[in-house]
Structure 1
Amino acid sequence: MKYLVIAFLFLSCTKQVTKTTETKEPVSPVSPQLPVYYISADGNTTNSGRTPDKPWSISRANNHDFSAGDILQISGKIDEVLYIGREDAGEAGAPLTIQGSGTLKGIDLYNTENITIKQLRFVGEGIMIHQDQDTKEYLSNFIVDSVESSEAMWGLKIHTSGKGFENVSITNSVFHHNRHSGIYTIGNWPEINHRNIHIKNVIAHHNSGTGETNTGHGIVVAGFNGGVIEYSEAYENGSNGDANIGIWAFDAIDITIQYCKSHHNRSKKVDGGGFDLDGGTQQCVIQYCQSWENDGEGFLLFDYGGPNPTKNNTFQYNISYNDARKNTNYGGFTLGGVNPVYNTRLYNNTVYISKGAGVNNGALTFIYGAAMKGLEVKNNIFYADGLGITAYYDSPATMELANNLYYSTKTISLAGLVGDPLFSENLYLTQTSPAVNKGIELDGLPKKDIYNNAITNQRDIGAIESH
């Protein structure tokens, strides 16, 4: 956490007088009483709640209507849920703030807005943000910062049957040992009716799954139009999961996942991968991300057959290292769909895969690949040791391969460059690599690589520029 220290320098002056005057102490301005309410495990309903030595109990707080700008200071371990409703809503610039050094079983934010939650632990029920169908306006401005949430079904869940939420920020937090997911958001499905989410510096680990399908995720964003997930990490999720991914989005528009890591995720059955843009994602980007040692795919793009189209998505400057360790039919990149998937771009990624327990996996794998329409695969390195470059379960309907570098101990029959990329440590390229200065310029490519190295001359093939 960063602290901003502002020093104020007060200058004083003296005035010379010619006669004796009475000296008085300066009068201190009267500060209004801070709207702080203290809530503690040893509080009770008869205390005032306005001083640390006379805290309220959680039941007393749940029966009070708070006002904009109020602060709830939580201390001790409270094995109950705090309920915040419509009547407790803050205002823009004057949120209701719930903070402290304590632990709550959970917090339930229902039909409310302008709420800040920080520096708290949640054990058992997590953070629930939801609204009902009677809510006709967007509910805005939620900040969740520096929290830890564990042992719940969802560490944090956002869902709606109403208009939706907007301007949600989740930062500097850890979500672990939950059953379904670390973070999970969903709109009024199939609607994409939330707006603007920012997830930064979040760790999601050991969220196990319940044994049922579609559980065991790290971070999942669905139902949002506009958002960024960045500088976050997911690992060791899905030990009892199925169809689970470390960090992913579905039924979402204009979501960017960047500077993230996803590794050692597991699955009892399907997937157990690193990253995913799934069905209903549109204009989404995964860039500058690293995936390694997952049971399933490193990066997945798959349309599951829902009503929203999957189109115009981009994967660029990512690394997959030894993914597809266990589950079958996956590769570093795995693409396909039940419904058509339109206009997908794979640019300047690096895939390194050696033979693992999975069978038929390759660096680039297609499942229901005929769904892929308008696929561009350019400037990538695909390195497969003991495996083929590609594995097809239906070939893509239309695919343009250009300027990729392939290496495999098996026969390669793909258009592009064939040869050993001559990796050095951490998949950097040596100066004699055939990938150096061989990249082609493509519309919209960034001017830096995955490790923030500037691209000043002709770019290299793959995710890492030689230096």
Structure 2
Amino acid sequence: MKSYSYASCWGLLLAFGLALPAAATDYYVSTTGNDSHAGTSVGNAWRNASKANAFTFRPGDRLLFEGGRTFAGPLQLTATDGGVASNPVVVGSYGTGRATIDGGAGTGLIITGATGIRVNNLNFVGLGRKTGNRGGRGINIGTSLGVTVDQVETSGFQAAGIFFYNSTDVRLTNVYAHDNGGAGISSYQSNNSYVGYCRAISNPGDPTITDNQSGSGIVLSGTRATIEYCEAADNGFDMQQVNNNGPVGIWCYEADQITIQYCISHNNKSPKGDGGGFDLDGGITNSVVQYNYAYENKNYGFAAWEYGASARWTGNTFRYNISINNSGPGLLLGSGGGQGVNNCEVYNNLFYNDSYPAVVQYGGATNFNFRNNIFVGPNSASLVATVSGLTYQANDYWFTNGGFNVGGYGSLAAWANATGQEKVNGALVGLNADPRLRAPANYERLTDPTRLPNLSAFLLQAGSPVVDKGVNLQTAFGINPGTRDFYGRPIPGGSGFDIGPQEGIMVSTPLAGQASNPVDGLSELQSWPNPAQDELTVSYPSRRAQRLALRVFSLTGQLVRQQEQLLLPGPNQFTLRTAGLSPGLYLLQSSDGERVQVRRVCVARP
């Protein structure tokens, strides 16, 4: 593996156009300070956030609040404050623990028209969505560029934990937004947004909103956004909506080029409609929902819906997702207005439910294609929707209480022969067979998205009929299915593509004397690229099924990132996120219980 010295890593950063930090000043705020002080040392600190509001901060300056103490807000930063992307103004804590900004009846931090702001290691609290906070937000970001929020907790705000609008390059990482009203994290018409490693938990609803939805976990709109490695749970249970729409755990609307991936959405609720796990809603275009897990939501696991937005809902994809035992279909599709949902690819998903159908449709759809999916459900209603505009090819249908029911037909062959579904060039390509999942009745209720590759309940048992029975999407339909399955393994993993969210993973007990080790020699840790930017690809061949612990350390020995990975016999390839790490050299350590290996990795920013 090619290594980089610390000096060469900084040289690479400079080649990428990043400047080294310029000389700047630290300013301190303490409950024992005095606003007449200069604020430039702990012993010469200011006392109130209002003093900082009247000050102008330059690139590289840091505004630091005393850890473990609470300061009255709002804190405000404007166009006169700010830095550049590589040398931002930093707002954070000093000393022991996090400082808290109390937004009271209003907002905790207001950033308007600013460039180059980094907020980290702070808590924001309001009086509560029903007990005094009036339309407030923990952090409100408007018409700004290059704002980063990391390691922040926000609660008790009526409108949202964090809201940003008409802004570009906003990055939210490691945010815990809970017990807010309208949403945990929300945006409107912003560009190049990133929301990663965030938790939106128990944001019940805004009591002042009665004519529209409220109480979502994460909801974004705009162009080019990524939501990944996030958890949304227990949101929406106290929405005051009088109509039929409602909140969703993680969703987007009126947006283009959105990616929602590696997320978990579970136990979300609604007194009215929705209350689902994931949703691409009105006016969504050219977006993808992939590698996500939805379980035990009040309604659907996933939705494709058009409410009548000005932009046509088109060009979207749902792939390699798992939906299990939501109180509604695995996928809900349709419209309440507009031109319906159009031109969507749904492939290699698992929709499993012992009480509800896999796919339900309300309203119009055109060119909506389902391929290589596993559908499991009861035969009390049609397992999948069969109205016009939908195409099914190379899917597996299985019924938890026996029999067969798709569109009222009693067998797969009868349905296929009558409608032309599940045929390619006249040949039957669908299956009506038990996919032989490992233990779907005992599925894991995961809450940590980084552990999704460890999800074992849906692994295929040896002899599964869906292995190598999927259609080759690239050759048959010109669809690029990506490079990995739900578990991070490369696709295809055998002589053909599998049906369902996994590729080539088989769970079995070797026969006596049979070798269970398909890898010769010792397991070698490899990673690339070097330098990495937002993610590092890790390769680790294994002789058996086991767990691999990955840890990333700074050169001073501080643990900065960790991840546990389920290894299966054979080659394993998966992703380790490096987004949020400061540029420089790190040590990547792996341990499989028998052998510890260490590699040097360099992190840089474009």
**8 Å Cα contact 1:262/1:274 also seen in 2:** yes
Measure how far apart 1:43 and its partner are.
3.0
1:158 to 160, 164, 184: 164
What's the secondary structure of 1:237's corresponding residue?
coil
1:244 aligns with 2:247: yes
1:311 aligns with 2:318: no
* 1:376-387 equivalences in 2 (<5 Å): 376-385=369-378, 387=380
Letter of the 1:78 partner, please give it: F
1:127 aligns with 2:126: no
Q: Could you tell me how far apart the structure 2 residues matched to 1:47 and 1:387 are?
A: 74
**8 Å Cα contact 2:379/2:404 also seen in 1:** no
1:104 aligns to what? 101
State the aligned residue count: 409
What's the secondary structure of 1:432's corresponding residue?
coil
1:148 aligns with 2:146: no
1:67 aligns to what? 58
**8 Å Cα contact 1:274/1:292 also seen in 2:** yes
1:344 aligns to what? 344
**8 Å Cα contact 2:269/2:275 also seen in 1:** yes
Q: Could you tell me how far apart the structure 1 residues matched to 2:468 and 2:223 are?
A: 37
Q: Which runs of 4+ in 1 moved over 4 A?
A: 5-8
Measure how far apart 1:89 and its partner are.
2.5
Letter of the 1:232 partner, please give it: C
Could you list the per-position Cα deviations for residues 106-133 of structure 1 after superposition, in whole angstroms to 9, with x for gaps in the alignment?
10001112111011111114000013xx
Could you list the per-position Cα deviations for residues 307-354 of structure 1 after superposition, in whole angstroms to 9, with x for gaps in the alignment?
111100000000000012xxxxx4111000122211011101001101
2:472 aligns to what? 441
Letter of the 1:126 partner, please give it: G
1:366 to 344, 361, 375: 361
Q: Could you tell me how far apart the structure 2 residues matched to 1:126 and 1:344 are?
A: 36
What's the secondary structure of 2:80's corresponding residue?
helix
* 1:248-397 equivalences in 2 (<5 Å): 248-324=251-327, 330-337=328-335, 338-339=337-338, 340-355=340-355, 361-368=356-363, 371-385=364-378, 387-390=380-383, 396-397=387-388
Measure how far apart 1:225 and its partner are.
1.1
Q: Could you tell me how far apart the structure 1 residues matched to 2:499 and 2:225 are?
A: 29
Letter of the 1:366 partner, please give it: Q
Give the unaligned 5+ runs of structure 2: 9-21, 103-107, 127-136, 410-414, 416-421, 423-429, 440-456, 474-478, 507-606
Measure how far apart 1:218 and its partner are.
0.7
* 1:168-207 equivalences in 2 (<5 Å): 168-187=170-189, 194-207=190-203
Letter of the 1:236 partner, please give it: D
Q: Could you tell me how far apart the structure 2 residues matched to 1:123 and 1:387 are?
A: 48
Measure how far apart 1:446 and its partner are.
2.2
Q: Could you tell me how far apart the structure 1 residues matched to 2:237 and 2:227 are?
A: 23
Could you list the per-position Cα deviations for residues 353-374 of structure 1 after superposition, in whole angstroms to 9, with x for gaps in the alignment?
012xxxxx41111122xx1111
2:26 aligns to what? 36
The alignment yields a C-alpha RMSD, in angstroms, of: 2.1
What's the secondary structure of 2:31's corresponding residue?
strand
What's the secondary structure of 2:50's corresponding residue?
helix
TM-score (norm 1): 0.83
Letter of the 1:450 partner, please give it: F
Could you list the per-position Cα deviations for residues 1-49 of structure 1 after superposition, in whole angstroms to 9, with x for gaps in the alignment?
xxxx9699xxxxxxxxxxxxxxxxxxxxxxx974111113343321221
Measure how far apart 1:389 and its partner are.
4.3
Could you list the per-position Cα deviations for residues 277-331 of structure 1 after superposition, in whole angstroms to 9, with x for gaps in the alignment?
001110000000000000011000100111111100000000000012xxxxx41
What's the secondary structure of 1:251's corresponding residue?
strand
Measure how far apart 1:451 and its partner are.
1.0
Letter of the 1:233 partner, please give it: E
What's the secondary structure of 1:438's corresponding residue?
coil
**8 Å Cα contact 2:281/2:307 also seen in 1:** yes
Give the unaligned 5+ runs of structure 1: 9-31, 132-138, 188-193, 325-329, 356-360
2:218 aligns to what? 219
Letter of the 2:487 partner, please give it: Y
**8 Å Cα contact 1:85/1:112 also seen in 2:** yes
Measure how far apart 1:424 and its partner are.
1.0
**8 Å Cα contact 2:113/2:145 also seen in 1:** no
1:431 aligns to what? 462
**8 Å Cα contact 1:287/1:315 also seen in 2:** yes
Q: Could you tell me how far apart the structure 1 residues matched to 2:27 and 2:374 are?
A: 58
Could you list the per-position Cα deviations for residues 165-224 of structure 1 after superposition, in whole angstroms to 9, with x for gaps in the alignment?
21111112211111110110012xxxxxx32011111111011112533111111111x2
Q: Could you tell me how far apart the structure 1 residues matched to 2:256 and 2:37 are?
A: 49
- Larger radius of gyration, structure 1 or 2? 1
